[in-house]
């Protein structure tokens, strides 16, 4: 059946309408969240914002296999700013406590924060089983640093910060962890729910940094 | 072509075009989902890792172009054949993945659905309109050829 030219023109118009009217461009999430900067500065050309739960196995894989490499290969040269938001899920009984330690460590500086992140994710299976979050963090820090961390933990602002992060996650409609957003020039480029390999992320980052 | 057949023809084209354009759009750069789609492709464990991101970048546009091609109706036999081939490929890939016991996202029309036999049935049902258009255009071509071939009485 041969279509007449006016029918073809109508169909092309329909295609255009499908694109520009039926499928609106998604609303971009607000980009003014606090969070914990794990690497790079906010002026870096690319910003990655991760909503993560310390007790979630996929978050562990994302941090240890992907984000740590991003921190080494990109954030150290200030090409990518990596920001983590605590989003402890209610189904994980020790996730909030772990998030409190991370929030407190952030107040002691980025190196302490990274130590706490590393130890919490590397030993996730153990503390998620026995609930010994404090002992896990204590092993990673010096005695003096841990004492300081315990003092900071007394600040009620720690809980308030986590609540704020959860609220922010709800505003972003986070349904599962990990979920991360990638921005360039303040504009949303990608939204990813779940795991991603470093190879794919690297190819994406390199294409944007050209 | 009767009015009923014309209606079926248009329904098949619209359904197929809408499916391909929508599924391409949700996975594309337009929906900020290239990396999400790359993650879904990785889940199938069939594509070498270095080809995953390029595939995630370009494949949605192939689907969108195919949907637009079907909707426009130019060389409908070829476009519906391409759609049938793609559907068969998807059904095969989903079946193999399910058989291998890999629990991953389908990545077909979004990123929430895990691969189950229902996913295969759903994708299989979309093969029907594509196959209908292929058969219809083949019959039409045969009729056209028969009309052009001079019969013994005419010579």
Residue-wise pLDDT for B31-81, tens only, equals 999 999 999 999 999 999 999 999 999 999 999 999 999 999 999 999 999
**Is it the case that residue B9 has pLDDT exceeding 90?**
yes
Q: Which of A3, A25, A196 sits opposite B39 (nearest CB)?
A: A196
Provide the 10 A C-beta neighbour count for residue A161.
21
Give how far B105 is from chain A: nearest CA, Å: 10
Q: Which of A18, A25, A190 sits opposite B35 (nearest CB)?
A: A190
Domain span holding position A86: 36-209
Give the pLDDT of residue A9: 61
Chain A interface, mutation test: which of B8, B30, B32, B135, most A Cβ atoms within 10 Å?
B32
Contact flag A7-B42 (C-beta cutoff 8 Å): no
Indicate whether B144 belongs to any domain. Answer: no
Number of domains in chain A: 1
Mean pLDDT in order along chain A per 10 residues (210 residues) = 59 59 46 79 94 96 97 96 95 96 94 96 96 95 95 93 92 91 91 93 95
Return the residue matching tokens 């003096």: A144
Share of chain B above pLDDT 70, in %: 97
Contact flag B72-A201 (C-beta cutoff 8 Å): no
- Does ipTM exceed 0.85? no
Indicate whether A133 belongs to any domain. Answer: yes
Domain span holding position B33: 10-139
Indicate whether B153 belongs to any domain. Answer: no
Number of domains in chain B: 1
Indicate whether B41 belongs to any domain. Answer: yes
Indicate whether B21 belongs to any domain. Answer: yes
Q: Which of A12, A25, A200 sits opposite B35 (nearest CB)?
A: A200
Q: For residue A40, what are the CA distances in angstroms to A44, A77, A130, B100?
A: 6, 7, 34, 41
Residue of B nearest to A181 (CA): B32
Task: Compute the distance between CA of residue B59 and CA of residue A18 in angstroms, rounded to an integer.
Answer: 19
The answer to whether residues A189 and A183 touch, using CB atoms and an 8 Å cutoff, is: yes
**Is it the case that residue B133 has pLDDT exceeding 80?**
yes
The answer to whether residues A120 and A53 touch, using CB atoms and an 8 Å cutoff, is: no
> Does the model's pTM come out above 0.90?
no
Q: Does A15 touch chain B (CB under 8 A)?
A: yes
What CATH number corresponds to the domain at position A69?
Answer: 3.40.30.10
Q: Does A195 touch chain B (CB under 8 A)?
A: yes
- Of A54, A58, A63, residue with least CA distance to A97: A54
Give how far A167 is from chain B: nearest CA, Å: 23
Indicate whether B147 belongs to any domain. Answer: no
Indicate whether B46 belongs to any domain. Answer: yes
The phi-psi region of residue B149 (left if phi > 0; otherwise alpha if psi is between -120 and 50; otherwise beta) is: beta
Indicate whether A77 belongs to any domain. Answer: yes
Indicate whether A119 belongs to any domain. Answer: yes
Chain B interface, mutation test: which of A18, A21, A66, A173, most B Cβ atoms within 10 Å?
A18
| Cβ pairs bridging A and B (under 8 Å) | 87
Task: Compute the distance between CA of residue A58 and CA of residue A60 in angstroms, rounded to an integer.
Answer: 5
Give the pLDDT of residue A7: 63
Give the pLDDT of residue B104: 87
Indicate whether B80 belongs to any domain. Answer: yes
Contacts of B74 in chain A (CB under 8 A): 3, 8
Indicate whether A21 belongs to any domain. Answer: no
Indicate whether B148 belongs to any domain. Answer: no
The DSSP secondary structure of A14-44, one letter per residue, reads: HHHHIIIIISPPPPPPPS----EEEES-TTS
Task: Compute the distance between CA of residue B95 and CA of residue B120 in angstroms, rounded to an integer.
Answer: 7
Indicate whether A7 belongs to any domain. Answer: no
What tens digit of pLDDT does each residue of B82-111 get?
999 999 999 999 999 999 999 888 888 877
Helix, strand, coil shares of chain B, percent, nearest 5, are 75, 0, 25
Q: Which two tokens stand for residue B15?
A: 């359904």
Q: Which residue has the higher pLDDT, B146 or A53?
A: A53
Give the pLDDT of residue B153: 56
Q: For residue A41, what are the CA distances in angstroms to A38, A48, A154, A192, B117?
A: 9, 11, 28, 22, 47
Give the pLDDT of residue A6: 61
Alpha carbon dihedral B73, B78, B80, B85, in 10-degree steps, equals -160
């Amino acid at each position: 059946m041969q279509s007449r030219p006016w029918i073809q023109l109508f169909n092309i118009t329909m295609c255009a309408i499908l694109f520009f009217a039926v499928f609106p461009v998604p609303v971009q999430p607000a980009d003014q969240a606090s969070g914990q900067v794990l690497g790079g500065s906010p002026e870096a050309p690319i910003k990655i914002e991760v909503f993560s739960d310390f007790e979630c196995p996929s978050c562990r894989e994302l941090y240890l296999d992907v984000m740590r490499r991003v921190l080494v290969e990109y954030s150290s040269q200030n090409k990518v700013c990596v920001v983590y938001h605590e989003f402890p899920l209610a189904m994980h009984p020790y996730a909030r406590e772990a998030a409190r330690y991370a929030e407190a460590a952030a107040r002691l500086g980025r190196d302490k924060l990274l130590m706490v992140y590393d130890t919490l994710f590397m030993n996730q299976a153990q503390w998620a089983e026995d609930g010994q979050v404090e002992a896990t963090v204590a092993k990673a820090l010096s005695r003096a640093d841990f004492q300081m961390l315990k003092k900071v933990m007394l600040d009620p602002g720690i809980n308030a910060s986590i609540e704020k992060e959860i609220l922010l996650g709800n505003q972003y409609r986070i349904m599962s962890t990990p979920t991360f957003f990638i921005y360039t020039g303040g504009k949303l480029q990608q939204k990813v729910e779940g795991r991603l390999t470093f190879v794919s992320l690297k190819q994406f980052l390199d294409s944007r940094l050209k | 072509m009767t009015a009923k057949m014309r209606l079926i023809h248009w329904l098949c084209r619209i359904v197929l075009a809408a499916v391909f354009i929508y599924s391409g759009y949700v996975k594309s750069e337009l929906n900020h989902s290239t990396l999400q789609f790359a993650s879904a492709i990785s889940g199938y464990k069939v594509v070498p890792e270095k080809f995953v991101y390029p595939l995630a970048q370009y494949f949605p546009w192939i689907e969108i172009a195919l949907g637009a091609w079907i909707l426009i109706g130019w060389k409908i036999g070829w476009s519906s054949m391409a759609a049938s081939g793609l559907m068969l490929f998807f059904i095969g890939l989903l079946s193999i993945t399910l058989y291998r016991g890999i629990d991953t996202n389908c990545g077909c029309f979004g990123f929430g659905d895990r691969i189950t036999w229902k996913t295969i049935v759903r994708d299989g049902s979309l093969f029907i309109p594509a196959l209908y258009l292929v058969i219809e255009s083949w019959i039409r071509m045969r009729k056209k050829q028969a009309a052009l071939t001079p019969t013994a009485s005419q010579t």
